[in-house]
């Protein structure tokens, strides 16, 4: 059975997620890839505010393509999450709760998930058109100069995902 979850109710359901569980996520998420993460880290090092409040935020590792005529967004499939692993503990310390991407995460991410009460949700690669169909609104929030990698605010309606790592550190990925 697929649980339908809304970002606004995250404090209630996040601790109950279990690795391997299928969910359908609705609500506001933000897009951020490597370039945005680097800008965030530089801002944090300089004591500057970020363009969004990370407290309770959900970040989807994607760089959506431009929207075709009549659509809200172009293809928005997940990118490989491990490229953002080095940034995750610091961002989690600033309130980041959930990330969405593809592939395994490192031990430092799992430890930060446990410490700060987060989770990692997995999207399936090659399904950018499917994920685009779950986006009901898209707006660029910051870093417009980055093009498809700019920071965007997406509103989702029932995006199908799997729990990759739950708040207890359980994972669907084999340990090495």
Domain count, the chain: 1
Angle (CA) 40-44-49 rounded to 5° is: 85
What's the pTM?
A: 0.96
Quick: pLDDT tens for 107-136.
Answer: 999 999 999 999 999 999 989 999 999 999
Q: Are 138 and 79 in contact (CB under 8 A)?
A: no
Half-sphere exposure of residue 156: CA atoms within 13 angstroms, side-chain side: 27
Is 73 part of any domain? yes
Is 74 part of any domain? yes
Is 170 part of any domain? no
Is 121 part of any domain? yes
Is 8 part of any domain? yes
Q: Tokens in use for 15? A: 């601790």
Q: Residue 1 has what pLDDT?
A: 85
Is 16 part of any domain? yes
Q: Residue 176 has what pLDDT?
A: 54
Is 117 part of any domain? yes
- Which stretches of the chain drop beneath a pLDDT of 50? none
- What is the span of the domain harbouring residue 27? 3-165
What CATH number does residue 77 fall under? Answer: 3.20.130.10
Is 90 part of any domain? yes
């Amino acid at each position: 059975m697929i649980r339908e979850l809304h970002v606004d109710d995250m404090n209630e359901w996040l601790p109950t997620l279990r690795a391997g569980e299928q969910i359908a996520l609705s609500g506001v998420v933000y897009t951020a890839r490597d370039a945005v993460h680097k800008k965030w880290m530089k801002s944090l090092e300089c004591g500057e505010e970020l363009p969004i409040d990370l407290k309770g935020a959900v970040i989807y590792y994607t760089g959506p393509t431009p929207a075709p005529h009549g659509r809200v967004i172009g293809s928005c499939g997940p990118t490989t999450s491990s490229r953002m692993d080095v940034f995750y503990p610091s961002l989690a310390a600033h309130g980041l709760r959930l990330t969405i991407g593809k592939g395994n995460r490192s031990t430092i991410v799992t430890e930060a998930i446990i410490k700060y009460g987060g989770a990692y949700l997995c999207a399936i690669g090659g399904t950018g058109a499917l994920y685009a169909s779950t986006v009901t609104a898209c707006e660029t929030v910051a870093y417009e100069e980055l093009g498809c990698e700019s920071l965007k605010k997406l509103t989702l309606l029932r995006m199908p995902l799997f729990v990759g790592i739950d708040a207890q550190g359980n994972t669907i990925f084999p340990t090495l």
